[in-house]
Structure formats: structure tokens, C-alpha cells
Amino acid sequence: MQSLSIRFILTLIFFRAVILSSQAQGDQEVKLYLNSEKTHWVKGTGLGQIWVRYTDLNPGSTVFGTPKDEVFDVGLRRVRYQVMGQITDQVFVYTQFGINSFGSLSGRKPGLFLHDVTAEYALIPGKLSLGAGLHGWNGTVRYSSSSVGSILGLDLPYIEESTNDLTDQFVRKLGVFAKGQLGKLDYRISASNPFPIQTALSPVPTLPEDVSQIAYYSKSAPAINYQGYFFWQFLDKESNQLPYMTGTYLGKKRVFNIGGGFSTQDHAVEYRESVGEPVIQQASRQFGLDVFYDTPIDKEKGTALTAYAAWIDYDFGPNYLRAAGAMNPANGINEQGTFNGPGNNIPLIGTGKVYYTQFGYLMKKDLLGKLGTLQPYGQFTLSDYERVETPISTYAIGINWLQAGHRSKLSLDYQSRPILVEGTGEKLVLDSANPRKGMWVMQYQFSF
């Protein structure tokens, strides 16, 4: 433990030295114009997120059969490239490709894969656009479609990405969508083909023969997934050119939105009422409400506030509960294992109610002189799931060092997660010996 902690601290010092020369600059954008009026254009962007991490592993974790209690590792959380363009007055195209979660246990020489490929036509510019392709126009709540480059905390609120890499491709599906703004109302609706669970890169658990009253994703051909999200913009309007919602504007907008949405898919999950009885299939249903507030406090000093809260009702069938962890640093479990599974897995998405909130405060712009400023933040999730005896919580606290806004950002984050085991009854309970585990992550983000 001590040697790993020393290495983590030394790496923090190294990262600080690397980015000391970063200078805060104004927003700049480079476009290739396709006509003399400069109304048709193409542009490209890029993003990288490098993680340096110390993880207190879940009980029973192994790495290729070797028992491990803790791990220090470095990984590429995301590498993304985008190319988009306004090709005609009505046609907008968008593509994104890259990699996710390339860690020390990943297959070597990863191939770039497609995240988004969409084309849309503005029937009524600004008010109604129709599009199709591999898209992220999702429903339920704001961060079911997150902008990875403007996240407030270290990572996305994946409590709101309920089918991430189960029936979608990192929240994207192939389908059609409609979106627009009618006055202060911003809306999006979509109908998409979920990917069959059999094509997932990591195996998706399916219903065992000897299990009853616990739902699993269905092996049947997936039905159409219908989604929608609608929000009222009381103050400044947000752009809806892309589906991905901004995490923090760093004081550049005054935004106050209240929204609600849904997602539903017929016969998405299946279960048995008792062992030996026929399999019952049912729809998955999601409904959510949320509020987002982002505002400058003192424009002269550059201080700002970001706050967000959401309530989500998930229904994936009786007692459904899935554990998952970002860029998992362990790949096995032994007889000491718990429901969480290996590494940094969290009891993440399940049937029940979820309450999520985040809060951030941007300090004055010249706090560190030419070296930028700081933005402390906190995130908290309370999950009241059918399969767990009492509500469970996950939280993260951290600070962003913004050298050039989101273009050059160093973050330090501590995350705490609950550990669940089988109880004396039918419900899961907190592990009395190891009720919680933690993870320290330092991330450097660059974008252009």
C-alpha cells in the first residue's frame, strides 16, 4: 500500500510539471468554409483523457488468477476525434470515432471504432430536424447523453447511462431521431434498433435455469427502443446541434432547465416466477425528471456555480441489478468475492429509484495567476433498488485545475462505492467486513 501511494504522489508531481506551461486562452475555433458566404463548413475536434489511478479492489479480486488487494495503473479513459459539417443550408453531418477504456488489461493495439455517424435534414431550421444513423439522441434524463469534454466531475454520471454497452455502443444505437427547439422548449425523440446482447464485447449475463424472481436481459431478438427527453429553458438557450449535453459552462452561460424523459423497449428482459416454470418476458421502462442550473456569480472575478439533480425510476423486471466499473483493473474473482465482482465494480443499475446530484464551484479566474484556476466539485448517488435491503450510496469528491478551460484540465478525484453480499434473507446487504471501497484517480484532459 505504501509503495503504491508513493508512486501515485510522484506521478501527481510529474503531471503538474508537465502542464505548468499551459496558458489560459480565449475560445478559438477553426473551420474549413465550403462557400463564400461561410454558411457551409467542416471542422474537426479531438480529445484525450489520461488516467493515473490507485484502486482499493473489491474483495476476492484477481488479475489473471493472481489475488490482488490494490492496484496502481495508468490508462486512456477516452480518445476521441470528431468531424462535422454544415454541408448545405439544410444538411448537417456528424461523425465521431476513437477508443474507450484502454487499460493495462486491455487487448493490445486497440482499433478505433465508430461512436457516431449521423446525417440530419432541417425541415424547419431550428424547430424541426430529422436524422438517422449511429446516434446518441437518448431519452430519460440530461446525462443519458453526456458531453465528455465538458464533464463537471472526473467521469460521466454513468448512473444515467442504463444500457451502456449492453444493448448500445457506448450509449449509441442505430436509428432515426427528431429534434428541435420550439420557443423555450427543447425536445428530442428517437426510435432505434438495440444491439442484441449476443454481440456485446463483454458477455452479458443471461437467465440461469435455476434462478427465479430475478430478471436478466433477454436473448430474444430486440424490439425497437423508443426514447424522448424534453426540457424547458428558463434562461439562456443551449445548443442542440449535437446530442451531448454540457456538464459545466464555466460561467459562460446562465442556464436554468427543468426536464423529463423516458425510454422503453418491449420484451427487453426475462425472468421466471419460480424454477421450472416458463420464462416471462417484459418491457424495460425508464422515466426521469431533472433540473440543471449553471450561472456566473461574479463576472468580473469569473466565479460560477454549477448544480444538477435527477430522479429516475428504472424498471428492468423483478430484482434486476447490474454491477460495472470503469476501465476495470481486475479481471477475475475468487471464493472471497462479493456481488460486486472484481476490481472497481459498483452495484450500478437496477430496478428501483435513483437520486443523483452534483455540485461545482468555479473559483476566481486568476486564482493561480497565469496558471488558471480551480473548480472543486462533489457528486452523490442514492439508489433504492428492489434487490438490496436498504438504499445504497456512491459518492465522489474532487477538484479540477483548469489551465485553459476544458482544453487543458487536470482533475484529482476520490470515489467511494458500497460492497454488497448475500444477506440472511433474499435481499443483498452491505458487507459488514468491507462495507465500502475507494479509488483515487488523477486525470489529465486535453481537447482542441
Domains assigned to the chain: 40-447 (2.40.160.10)
For residue 149, name the pLDDT band (cuts at 50, 70, 90): very high
State the pLDDT at residue 412: 98
- The pLDDT assigned to 23 comes to 36
DSSP state of 148: G
Residue 91, classified by CB atoms within 10 Å of its CB into exposed (0-12), middle (13-18) or buried (19+), is: middle
State residue 24's pLDDT score.
Answer: 34
Long-range pairs for 427-434: beta carbons < 8 A, 24 or more residues apart: 427/387, 427/388, 427/389, 428/321, 428/339, 428/347, 428/387, 428/388, 428/389, 429/388, 429/389, 429/390, 430/390, 430/392, 431/59, 431/338, 433/59, 434/59, 434/338
pLDDT of residue 5: 52
Residue whose cell numbers read 456538464 = 247
- pLDDT tens digit string along 222-239? 999 999 999 999 999 999
Helix H or strand E segment including 319:
none
Is pLDDT of 200 > 50? yes
Residues in Cβ contact with 289 at an 8 Å cutoff, skipping those fewer than 6 apart: 141, 258, 259, 260, 310, 311
pLDDT at 6: 53
β 225-233/255-271 pair status: antiparallel
pLDDT of residue 355: 98
Q: Where are the beta strands (DSSP E) in 57-143?
A: 61-63, 66-67, 70-86, 91-102, 113-124, 128-135
Residues 273-288 have a mean pLDDT of 96
At 21 the pLDDT is: 35
Q: What is the pLDDT of residues 42-88, one digit of tens each?
A: 999 999 999 999 999 999 999 999 999 999 999 999 999 999 999 99
> pLDDT, tens digit, for every residue of 353-374?
999 999 999 999 999 999 999 9
**Mean pLDDT of the region 324-329:** 96
**Average pLDDT of span 132-153:** 97
What is the largest distance, in Å, between two alpha-carbon atoms of the chain?
73
> What does the pLDDT average to over 92-103?
96
- The three three-digit cell numbers of residue 419, written as one number: 460492497
Query: Which of the four pLDDT bands, split at 50, 70 and 90, describes residue 110?
Result: confident
pLDDT at 91 over 50: yes
DSSP code for 142: G
**Residue 198, CB half-sphere, CA atoms under 13 Å: how many?**
5
What whole-number distance in Å separates Cα of residue 179 and Cα of residue 229?
10
pTM over 0.85, yes/no: yes
Q: 202 vs 90, which has greater pLDDT?
A: 90
Strand locations in 244-351 (E):
255-271, 280-298, 303-315, 321-324, 332-333, 346-350
Distance CA 145, CA 402 (A): 23
Indicate if the pLDDT at residue 26 is higher than 80.
no
Mean of pLDDT over the chain: 93
Rounded mean pLDDT, 168-185: 97
Residue 402: predicted pLDDT: 98
Q: What is the mean pLDDT of residues 205-209?
A: 95
Rounded Cα–Cα distance for residues 342 and 337 (Å)? 7
Q: How far apart are CA 14 and CA 1, in angstroms?
A: 20
Identify the band that residue 19 occupies on the pLDDT scale cut at 50, 70 and 90. Answer: very low
Q: What average pLDDT does range 191-217 have in this prediction?
A: 95
Share of the chain above pLDDT 70, in %: 94
**pLDDT on residue 217:** 98
Give the range among 65-69, 269-273, 424-428 with minimum mean pLDDT.
424-428
Residue with cell 463483454: 202
CB atoms within 10 A of CB 187: 18
The pLDDT of 332-351, averaged and rounded, is 97
Cβ–Cβ < 8 Å for 277, 321: no
DSSP designation for 73: E
